[in-house]
């Protein structure tokens, strides 16, 4: 019998009178189908070179973060050889380039404009590590929302944020740019940021939403020895359980793009890592957007030892990397790669399509200018509501680390000796990666204190340079540090500061790091106070005056002497445009501090990596003096200086014993944990109540504690509230040896408290069924 091909059969059936009679009117195409149709049409007209052009992201102007700069930009735009541009903004600058692409390139494909909007665009918020310390998801989202309002008004479509790399090593300068060490909190923050940038429905066609870029995929924060760009190598279990959750959370939240990281991941640089970019990101997680490299990351694979230019270009494209940031290695190699068969045309088409899809989703084919105008920029940028939000969010990010004898809040009368190299610094308070923020609009601590307390006598002395090492200063200044070396000897500067201190009621010493000592390429092997600042503090202490430290820094620091000897310590990070006012609000008690650190502060640098959610080991050290054969150091305890989740308030809180809705749980049930928190002090205040879990016995060893919930609550003086936490079945799960996400029956411990160390414990059992 002659076999009729199935397709022909289907056609014949469709054409039959019976089928004709039943035929329904064709359904309207879905949004995805319309997009596909449009892009099919466009790609049908594109030459191979024009497709390769879409894969090319060029940098225009300043802020170069690598040795290579983009050349011949205008000529390449005209030839259709540029897909996107970054490092430029303002309606005028953007319009000029967009017009070039629209009017002078053959197919008039709009460009897409990106920028490093990291913690605000023009209005600058606290650095991400500070934002995280607020534990306030609404505030985090609001900061990203305002950044989206401002960056779109400035002509931008795309922001290189959120940075969600988990970091456990404070030597790494980029710990400042992320949410700290915890995957649960990191995931919550990743979601809040994506929502803030892209809007609640991820509708990027709106003129005030920007496409977010999740970075740096992946494991950049696990750089060995905390040295930037260094290798990472870790087990898949650790990866899935401890490092990947925030990336996945951002993907689940619908992030539009992903940036590959510079580092090597288990032997293959992320930018050439097919397992990471295709198997995990696209196939397992279902990511639908496009992947851009970090700055020249494909070219850098030559240094990684992955081959010559042609080979690394093919490696990246085959791995699933769509766009090449600045390296122009795709521009120069993909055509040859196709000729040699190293990559397929389909691979090029897939990458080009994903970039065009992003432009389509941004509405650039409808309105390539996205309603950008000088007028919109003027009415939007740095508007009073944004400034007010910056002040409020900055206050929420600050962490009170110590407050003996109620030294804080300060009175607004009498006199203060305001000491320290950071006390009058506007440049430093806005922090690193403060892209389009104008530090001259920022408020220094001195300005903030004077504005808040006009009748307080404030006398300033610098006391020390932020760093005395001329080379370090030169390096910081080469990247916009704007630091001046005070040529006086250290003794002379300290002598002056001591005199000022002696004449005042209280010393407020503003010390820490300069903003350039954190961020990219700013790893430090010593994470104590740089320069002569500690010597300065020791001399100030000797005056016997109460001493308040206001810290400015982008990482956990080692502060053992400071913790012993200061009367009060306020961690302010780099708090942004309104830093000085926000710090004054906290110091004078207009705001009661509520932040909690999200990365462990070690006692000494030799303890790092130090993090709360570690494994127990077979020889856990419980503090027994003479027990040598334990997992410990001979010269320092295992305790941190300040544990994860720690932060004080001007008031005090007490926790009741947590209670559970059940003591035996079936795998599909949700457990309710209730705890009563009371404000037992003299001020109204907010507390971040934290819930941790321990899976006591597992098929792989499990951490001693893992954060699974938190609530930030306002409690009036004397007030108490009963909080309810819910542990859903997924909260009990982890990735086992086969990378299956499972909950294993057995004993669990629940801990509730105001930080990861000071907790109360209850237990329950997870039943097999
Ligand atoms: C390098 C950094 O690693 C990345 O975070 C940033 O977005 C790009 N350069 C672009 O400036």
Query: Which residue's CA lies nearest to atom 1 of ligand 1?
Result: 295
Per residue in 505-518, pLDDT (tens digit) is 999 999 999 999 99
Range 293-305 average pLDDT: 98
pLDDT for res 9: 37
- At 63, the pLDDT band (50, 70, 90 cuts) reads low
Does ligand 1 have an atom closer than 6 angstroms to the CB of 174? Answer: no
Q: Tens digit of pLDDT for each residue in 182-227?
A: 999 999 999 999 999 999 999 999 999 999 999 999 999 999 999 9
398-420: per-residue pLDDT in tens? Answer: 999 999 999 999 999 999 999 99
pLDDT surpassing 70 at residue 65: no
CB 294 less than 6 A from any atom of ligand 1: yes
CB-ligand 1 contact for 158 (6 Å cutoff): no
Mean pLDDT of 632-653: 97
The token pair that represents 208 in the structure block: 């005030």
Please work out whether the CB of residue 165 comes within 6 Å of at least one atom of ligand 1.
no
pLDDT value at 66 more than 70: no
Quick one: average pLDDT of 43-54? 98
Nearest to 221 by CA among 194, 197, 246, 254: 246
Ligand 1 pocket check for 160: Cβ under 6 Å: yes
Which residue minimizes the CA distance to atom 4 of ligand 1? 294
- Which pLDDT score, from 0 to 100, does residue 470 have? 85
Of residues 157, 169, 264, 294, which has the active-site annotation? 294
What's the gap in Å between 65 CA and the centre of ligand 1?
7
Q: Could you tell me the end-to-end alpha-carbon distance of the chain, in angstroms, rounded to an integer? A: 56
Report CA 299 to chain centroid distance, whole Å: 25
CA of 327 to the centre of ligand 1 (A): 13
Residue 58 has pLDDT above 50, yes or no: yes
H and E: helices and strands count for the chain: 25, 27
% the chain with pLDDT above 70: 96
Spatial contact of 298 and 324, defined as CB atoms under 8 Å apart: yes
Q: Which of 116, 158, 174, 217 should be mutated for ligand 1, with most atoms under 8 A from CB?
A: 116
Residue 703: predicted pLDDT:
98
Ligand 1 centroid vs 88 CA: distance in angstroms? 14
| 88-105 mean pLDDT | 97
The pLDDT value recorded for residue 636 is 94
Return the minimum-mean-pLDDT range out of 10-14, 234-238, 762-766.
10-14
Distance 290 CA to ligand 1 centre (A): 16
Instruction: Find out whether 472 and 430 touch, Cβ atoms under 8 Å.
Output: no
Residue 2 pLDDT > 70: no
Mean pLDDT calculated for residue range 165-173: 98
* Mean pLDDT of all residues belonging to the chain: 95
Q: Does residue 277 surpass a pLDDT of 90? A: yes
Atom of ligand 1 nearest to the CA of 116: 7
User: How remote is the CA of residue 215 from the centroid of ligand 1, in Å?
Assistant: 9
pLDDT of residue 704: 98
Residue 294 is among the residues annotated as catalytic for this protein: yes
| Across 252-256, average pLDDT | 98
Between CA 732 and CA 697 the distance in angstroms is 12
Does ligand 1 come within 6 angstroms of the Cβ of 295?
A: yes
Helix (H) / strand (E) containing 18? helix 17-22
The answer, yes or no, to whether residue 302 has pLDDT greater than 70, is yes
Confidence bin at 22 (pLDDT 50/70/90): low
Which residue's C-alpha comes closest to atom 9 of ligand 1? 295
The mean per-residue pLDDT over the stretch 594-604 comes to 98
How many other C-beta atoms lie within 10 A of the C-beta of residue 301? 29
User: How far, in Å, CA of 615 to CA of 622, rounded?
Assistant: 14
**Is pLDDT at 11 greater than 60 in this prediction?**
no
Q: Which residue has the tokens 């002056």?
A: 496
Three-class SS string for 39-105?
A: HHHHHHHCCHHHHHHHCEEEECCCCCCCCCCCCCHHHHHHCCCCCEEECCCCHHHHHHHHHHHHHHC
**pLDDT above 70: residue 67:** no
pTM above 0.85, yes or no: yes
pLDDT > 80? residue 173: yes
Residue 294 Cα to ligand 1 middle (Å): 6
Mean pLDDT of 91-106: 97
Q: In the prediction, which pLDDT does 13 show? A: 37
Query: pLDDT tens, 320-329?
Result: 999 999 999 9
pLDDT at 435: 82
pLDDT tens-place string over residues 659-673: 999 999 999 999 999
Single out the residue of 440, 265, 291, 271 nearest to residue 357, CA to CA.
Answer: 291
Ligand 1 within 6 A of 116 CB?
yes
Q: Dihedral, CA atoms, 297, 302, 307, 309, nearest 10 degrees?
A: 70
What pLDDT sits at residue 7? 40
Which of residues 302 and 9 earns the better pLDDT score? 302
pLDDT tens digits, 520-548: 999 999 999 999 999 999 999 999 999 99
> Nearest-CA neighbor of 426 among 272, 578, 269?
578
Q: Is 520 in the pocket of ligand 1 (CB under 6 A)?
A: yes
> Which residue has tokens 């066609």?
205
Q: What is the mean pLDDT of residues 649-654?
A: 98
Tens digits of residue pLDDT in 106-124? 999 999 999 999 999 999 9
């Amino acid at each position: 019998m002659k076999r009729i091909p199935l397709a022909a059969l289907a056609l014949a059936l469709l054409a039959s009178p019976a089928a004709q009679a039943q035929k329904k009117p064709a359904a309207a195409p879905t949004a995805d189908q319309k997009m596909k149709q449009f892009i099919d049409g466009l790609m049908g007209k594109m030459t191979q070179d024009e497709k390769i052009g879409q894969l090319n992201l060029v940098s225009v102007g300043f802020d170069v973060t690598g040795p290579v700069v983009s050349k011949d930009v205008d000529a390449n735009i005209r030839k259709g050889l540029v897909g996107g541009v970054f490092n430029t903004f303002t309606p005028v600058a953007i319009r000029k380039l967009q017009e070039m692409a629209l009017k002078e390139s053959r197919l008039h494909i709009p460009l897409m404009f990106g920028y490093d909007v990291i913690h605000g665009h023009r209005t600058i918020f606290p650095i991400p590590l500070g934002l995280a310390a607020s534990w306030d998801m609404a505030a985090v989202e609001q900061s990203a929302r305002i950044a989206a309002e401002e960056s779109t008004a400035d002509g931008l479509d795309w922001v290189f944020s959120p940075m969600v790399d988990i970091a456990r090593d404070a030597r790494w300068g980029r710990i400042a740019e992320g949410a700290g060490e915890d995957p649960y909190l990191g995931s919550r923050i990743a979601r809040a940021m994506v929502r803030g940038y892209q809007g609640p429905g991820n509708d990027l066609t709106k003129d005030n939403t920007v496409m977010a870029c999740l970075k740096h995929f992946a494991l950049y924060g696990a750089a060995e020895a905390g040295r930037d760009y260094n290798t990472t190598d870790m087990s898949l279990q650790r990866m899935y359980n401890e490092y990947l959750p925030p990336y996945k959370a951002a993907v689940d939240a619908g992030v539009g793009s992903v940036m590959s990281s510079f580092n090597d991941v288990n032997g293959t640089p992320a930018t050439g890592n097919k397992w990471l970019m295709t198997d995990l990101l696209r196939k397992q997680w279902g990511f639908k957007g496009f992947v851009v490299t970090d700055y020249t990351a494909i070219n850098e694979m030559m240094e990684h030892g992955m081959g010559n230019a042609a080979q690394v270009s093919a490696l990246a494209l085959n791995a699933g990397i769509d766009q090449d940031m600045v390296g122009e290695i795709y521009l120069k190699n993909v055509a040859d790669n196709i000729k040699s068969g190293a990559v397929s045309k389909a691979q090029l088409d897939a990458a080009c399509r994903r970039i065009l899809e992003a432009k389509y989703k941004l509405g650039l084919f409808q309105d390539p200018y996205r309603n950008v105008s000088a007028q919109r920029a003027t009415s939007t940028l740095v508007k009073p509501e944004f400034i007010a939000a910056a002040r409020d969010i900055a206050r929420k990010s600050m962490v009170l680390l110590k407050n003996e004898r109620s030294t804080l809040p300060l009175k607004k009368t009498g006199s203060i000796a305001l000491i320290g190299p950071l006390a009058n610094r506007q440049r430093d308070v806005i922090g690193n990666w403060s892209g389009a923020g104008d530090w001259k609009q920022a408020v220094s601590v001195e300005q903030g204190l004077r504005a808040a307390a006009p009748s307080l006598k404030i006398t300033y002395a610098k006391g020390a340079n932020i760093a005395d090492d001329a080379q370090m200063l030169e390096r910081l200044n080469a990247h916009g540090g704007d630091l001046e070396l005070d040529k006086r000897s250290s003794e002379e500067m300290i002598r002056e500061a001591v005199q000022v201190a002696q004449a005042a009621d209280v010393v407020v010493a503003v010390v820490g790091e300069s903003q350039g000592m954190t961020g990219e390429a700013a790893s430090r092997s010593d994470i104590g106070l740089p320069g002569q600042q500690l010597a300065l503090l020791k001399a100030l202490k000797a005056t016997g005056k109460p001493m308040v430290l206001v810290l400015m820094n982008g990482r956990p620091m080692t502060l053992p002497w400071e913790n012993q000897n200061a009367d009060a310590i306020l961690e302010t990070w780099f708090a942004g445009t309104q830093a000085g006012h926000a710090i004054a609000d906290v110091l004078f008690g207009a705001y009661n501090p509520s932040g909690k650190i999200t990365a462990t502060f070690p006692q000494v640098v030799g303890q790092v990596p130090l993090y709360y959610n570690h494994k127990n080991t077979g020889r856990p050290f419980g503090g027994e003096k003479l027990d040598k054969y334990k997992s410990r150091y001979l010269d320092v305890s295992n305790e941190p200086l300040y544990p994860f989740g720690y932060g004080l308030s001007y008031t005090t809180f007490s926790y009741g014993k947590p209670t559970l809705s059940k003591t035996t749980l079936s795998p599909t049930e949700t457990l309710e944990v209730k705890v009563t928190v009371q404000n037992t002090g003299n001020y109204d205040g907010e507390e971040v109540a934290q819930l941790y879990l321990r899976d006591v016995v597992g098929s792989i060893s499990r951490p001693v504690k893992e954060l699974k919930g938190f609530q930030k609550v306002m409690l009036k003086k004397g007030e108490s509230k009963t909080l309810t936490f819910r542990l859903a079945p997924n909260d009990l799960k982890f990735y086992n040896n086969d990378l299956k996400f499972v909950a294993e029956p057995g004993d669990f411990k629940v801990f509730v408290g105001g930080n990861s160390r000071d907790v109360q414990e209850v237990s329950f059992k997870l039943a097999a069924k």
